[in-house]
Structures are given as C-alpha cells and as structure tokens.
Amino acid sequence: AQSVTQLGSHVSVSEGALVLLRCNYSSSVPPYLFWYVQYPNQGLQLLLKYTSAATLVKGINGFEAEFKKSETSFHLTKPSAHMSDAAEYFCAVSSPSFQKLVFGTGTRLLVSP
Amino acid sequence: SAVISQKPSRDICQRGTSLTIQCQVDSQVTMMFWYRQQPGQSLTLIATANQGSEATYESGFVIDKFPISRPNLTFSTLTVSNMSPEDSSIYLCSVEGDVNTEAFFGQGTRLTVV
C-alpha cells in the first residue's frame, strides 16, 4: 500500500521568501512522486514529477523537489515566493505501473505582500 | 498533454435525484479515473474505467451509487445516484499521459446537493 503525508495544512510566507512544502511517502515498491497545484475553482495542474531518474526535479513556475529515499521525502521548494503562487498544493504517489494516484491531504500556501 | 473537458462545471441538485457528469478527452486513452474531492479535503479515487470492461471501484465506493460508463477511448461518464448532501463535492476526471508517468485532470464538476 502507498500513502503520502503532507506536514502542515497551511503554510504562510512573505513575497520573496523561500517556499518549503513538506511531503513524506510510504511505498512498498519504488515510487513515482508528483506535486500538483490547484488554483481556486480549477482542476489540478502538474508541477513536477519524479520517475526514478534524477533525484532533483525541476518543474514549472520555478518550483523544484528533491527525492530522498533515505528520508522517504519529496519536499517542494521555491527560492522566492510570488503572490501568484498562492494555491493548494498536493503531493501524490503512484507505483511505476501507474495504476492510480494516492494524494496527500494538501497544503494551502498563503503569500503575503 | 491531454485536454480534458468536463460537463457540467457545476450544478445544484435536489436530494434523491441523480446527476451524470461527462468527461471528454482530446485523444485516445486507455485508462480514465474518477476522483472525489470533498470540501476542504484531498482527492480520493472513486474508480478506474477502462474501455470495454467494467469499472474497478475503490474501497468505500459501489457501482449502484456511482455507475460509470466508458463507451470509447475518449469519453466516460460518472453518475452520482440518489444524491444526499454528503455527496456535495468536486468530482474530477483524470487520464494517464502518453508515457504513463503522469495524470492530467479536468476542471472538475462542483456539485452541491440541497
């Protein structure tokens, strides 16, 4: 069975500050890991994915995440937050056979001026 | 990437009625997925729909409540039957990407049951 834990239902940062959203996973097989973003009243958009290649993954909008097997983590970072980054962020895991995605509970990012 | 269109985008329904949500994809895909996102919560997989076979339901979801059709490789429907206020959620359709390493999502259907 696979699962994802996102620490912190809400994260608040100031514009220009570092963004760090935490994700830990549990998987009995080598995982594929994803970060999705959901803006208000919209569907989910893929930010980035890890599929067993480079452990440091760069995504859209300046986000990146590092797969750390020893820590079972896949934390999302961005060096400098923009107001437009305010949204809900979901970490998800699947197996390489990609039968389905298992999502974390989400983290709402709040960006203040 | 796949472009997914869901209809309706939102609806307000009376309890006891049923609503059918449509999902249209701009390319042929093998697997389509239906998720539910209850207010303030994460996404939960309802079922996986493959063309030409019965949908596979996750624990806690049954066909009588959420019947699914998959008549071809670009289209699927999810029906929410005999609705109650607890069914008020966003329902999202999803498909695999070309290289089977990611999923694309529709905009979702925001359902309110009164």
B106 has a chain A CB within 8 A of its CB: yes
Q: In the prediction, which pLDDT does B87 show?
A: 97
Q: Are B81 and B93 in contact (CB under 8 A)?
A: no
Pair of tokens at residue B21: 């949500």
CB distance A46–B102 less than 8 Å? yes
- C-alpha A36/C-alpha A84 separation (Å) is 15
> Is the sign of the CA dihedral A94, A100, A106, A108 positive or negative?
positive
CB distance A90–B96 less than 8 Å? no
Q: In the prediction, which pLDDT does B50 show?
A: 87
CB distance A101–B94 less than 8 Å? yes
Distance from CA of A9 to the nearest CA of B (A): 10
The tens place of each residue's pLDDT in chain A, 113 residues long, gives 789 999 999 999 999 999 999 999 998 888 899 999 999 878 889 999 998 778 999 999 999 999 999 999 999 999 999 999 999 999 999 876 666 789 999 999 999 99
Task: Search chain B and give the residue with CA nearest A51.
Answer: B101
Q: Are B50 and B71 in contact (CB under 8 A)?
A: no
CB distance A103–B42 less than 8 Å? yes
φ, ψ for residue B62 (rounded to 5)? Answer: -130, 155
